[in-house]
Amino acid sequence: MNYQQTFDSTVRDPAAFWLEQASGLDWFVPPRTGLSTDAQGVSRWFADGVLNTAHLALDVHVTAGNGERTALIYDSPVTGARASYSYRALRDAVALCAGMLRDLGVGKGDRVLLYMPMIPEAVIAMLACARLGAVHCVVFGGFAAHELAVRIDDCAPKVVLSASCGIEVDRVIPYQPILSQALKAARHRPERCVILQRPQCAAPLHHPRDLDWHEQLAAARPADCVPVAATDPLYILYTSGTTGKPKGIVRDNGGHAVAMGYSMATIYNMAPGEVFWAASDVGWVVGHSYIVYGPLISGCTTVLYEGKPVRTPDAGAFWRVVAEYGVKALFAAPTAFRAIRKEDPEASLAARHDLSSLEYLFLAGERLDPPTYQWLAAHLGRPVLDHWWQTETGWAIAANPIGIEAFATRPGSATLPVPGFDVHILDDNGAPLGPHQQGNICVKLPLPPGCLATVWNNHPRYEAGYMARFPGYYLTGDGGYRDEDGYLFVMGRTDDVINVAGHRLSTGEMEEVVAAHPAVAECVVIGIADGLRGQVPLALVVLKDGMVMEETALEAEVVLMVREQVGALACLRQVLMVRRLPKTRSGKILRAILRKLADGEGFEVPSTIDDPTVLDEIRGDFARRGIGPGA
């Protein structure tokens, strides 16, 4: 079937379509029911099926005679360490780790919190939890103690797995002091903490709470896979919420496994034995879906990279990994390539490597601005494929479905809704909007397999945050439009729409124009308070390395560009040159913090920020230009 036929079949009879996709997996008890409704009125997938996700990711391939195929490649430029695991070796390591957890009393349904860096043991621990039917909760390594304590209290883990340290470029970050502080602050008390000692930093163990990883592993015996229901939780992953309390997104076993296998073939066009690299972190949803579960369920080789796109050692790091391991598809955030472009604007470092294996470049995690898209397309000469999804969905809502039918790309667009996601653009009253009319991006229910079914310990928050505003639809929280051919353009979070003298304007649209200036490496446009117009836009720009330009000259040129391409009503009059922008560790720009900083509102420095000192720099830049209360 072509794309349209496939998409139509998911709308016409979603239960039959997804049961057919599920039939390709090795279930212990194959499901006969595709779609049903649980006691809370939520649609659930494959409720009568029984399986084990670690079995699908590892044992199935070993049993099929592919045990010697490479499953995992570990590359750590920050330590110089490298390792490779076959499917058999990874299966055995996971079974032994599961045995260690079993000896600590971990069983089906118990939670295990992982606070670990990008090392093979993190992947092994995730799969070990899945093997036992336990629920893992991975917290990004280096998160502050308060945020870690909040997550410990919410998911109430029986055991915490951690390491002595993480490494950020050339800086060693001891984890034990952060973990100990979090455990003191938390109300819940895990029974045990198992600590992996890394040679870069030894952690003092506090007995009897703390145990040595290698000592526990040496005494363990391998554990078999535990059958679980398809609707049993596989993991909890926390995402930030507007209330300040993080939301624990719950992912089930059955729907997730089906979605991972389907997406690897449909969206990424990957086949068993091919090398897939998601340049992310296991602490984020991309790491869960496409470092660990998606590639392994599909029999691919996955790359685990402990490094950065730049400074480990330079802006050619990504190209080195692609060439060295024969990567077919690379998946990263646009911010990674903006950093590479800033340091190597002519992509000269890419030319030094044999990139013949690389067929596709996928980007997600934030909006792919057209200048970054055009730079990648021009210098790499390969398909650059934007796609859009969320922690809540676990896989892409919109993409170029090259595994079914490849479409021409359009800069700024994530292409088309993925089969299973019936996307609609609604106005604030819930009425459908036509082509090129911006509104709320929503997905008509039911959501396809793999999406969240609840928020851990807070189902009313799930209903209020995602389902209540537009009955019958899932509210993504993003705004955008579709063009006359159905291409989806995601313009940013709906709270990034600003109101200038009664005109609703997308900051994403203005960012496209600003980013197109030849001197600009990256930018952000925010709405700041204005006594006359309510809000006015402010652009913050970072120049390309080696670029010298007067701020007043840049401002005049950018203001003219926005006036010509967006219109005078945009009222963009101020352009501020900054050395860097505040970002999360996953590369997302902290727009809300910038708005509050400019408007003089109070805020808490988020634990997800990459470097808090950038806020002091921005505050000084605002003061220099007279931006802020009383200016």
Average pLDDT for 484-507:
75
Q: Is the pLDDT of residue 498 over 80?
A: no
Half-sphere exposure for 443 (CA within 13 Å, toward CB): 26
Q: Is the pLDDT of residue 242 over 50?
A: no
Q: Is the pLDDT of residue 244 over 80?
A: no
362 touches 329 (CB < 8 A): yes
- What's the pLDDT score for residue 495? 63
| Closest of 99, 63, 90, 87 to residue 222, by C-alpha | 99
Mean pLDDT of the chain: 93
Half-sphere exposure for 578 (CA within 13 Å, toward CB): 26
CA distances from 70 to 94, 290, 467 (A): 15, 16, 42
For the domain spanning 501-624, the CATH number is 3.30.300.30
- Higher local confidence (pLDDT), 361 or 599: 361
**Euclidean distance between the first and the last CA atom of the chain, given in angstroms as a whole number:** 61
Determine the distance from the C-alpha atom of residue 243 to the mean position of all C-alpha atoms in its chain, rounded to a whole number. Answer: 21
Kindly tell me the burial class for residue 50, based on how many C-beta atoms sit within 10 Å of its own C-beta (0-12, 13-18, 19 or more).
middle
Q: Give Dmax over CA atoms of the chain in angstroms.
A: 71
Q: Is the pLDDT of residue 190 over 70?
A: yes
Sketch the domain layout of the chain as residue ranges.
Answer: 3-307+387-480, 501-624
- What's the pLDDT score for residue 13? 98
Q: Is the pLDDT of residue 486 over 70?
A: yes
Residues 6+ apart with CB under 8 A from 301: 69, 70, 71, 72, 73, 273, 274, 275, 276, 295, 325
415 touches 407 (CB < 8 A): yes
Q: 212-226, pLDDT tens digit by residue?
A: 999 999 999 999 999
Determine the distance from the C-alpha atom of residue 122 to the mean position of all C-alpha atoms in its chain, rounded to a whole number. Answer: 17
Q: Is the pLDDT of residue 264 over 90?
A: yes
Q: Which CATH architecture has domain 3-307+387-480?
A: 3-Layer(aba) Sandwich (3.40)
Amino acid at 33: T
Q: 90-124, pLDDT tens digit by residue?
A: 999 999 999 999 999 999 999 999 999 999 999 99
Q: 121-178, pLDDT tens digit by residue?
A: 999 999 999 999 999 999 988 778 888 999 999 999 999 999 999 998 989 999 999 9
Q: 426-467, pLDDT tens digit by residue?
A: 999 999 999 999 999 999 999 999 999 999 999 999 999 999
Q: 566-608, pLDDT tens digit by residue?
A: 766 678 889 999 999 998 877 788 888 898 898 888 888 877 7
Highest mean pLDDT among 6-15, 171-180, 603-612: 6-15
How far apart are alpha carbons 447 and 586 in whole angstroms?
A: 26
Any idea which of 167-176, 241-250, 609-618 has the lowest mean pLDDT?
241-250
CA distances from 144 to 18, 242, 383, 537 (A): 40, 19, 38, 32
131 touches 92 (CB < 8 A): no
Q: Is the pLDDT of residue 197 over 70?
A: yes
Average pLDDT for 58-79:
98
Secondary structure E strands in 375-431: 384-386, 388-389, 396-399, 416-417, 422-426
Beta bridge partner(s), residue 489: 481
Same fold, 3-307+387-480 and 501-624: no
Q: Is the pLDDT of residue 382 over 50?
A: yes
How far apart are alpha carbons 150 and 367 in whole angstroms?
A: 29
- What's the pLDDT score for residue 189? 96
Where does the pLDDT of residue 609 fall: very low under 50, low under 70, confident under 90, or very high at 90 and above? confident
CA distances from 509 to 413, 492, 514 (A): 12, 9, 9
Helix (H) or strand (E) holding 558: helix 551-565
Any idea which of 48-52, 160-164, 548-552 has the lowest mean pLDDT?
548-552
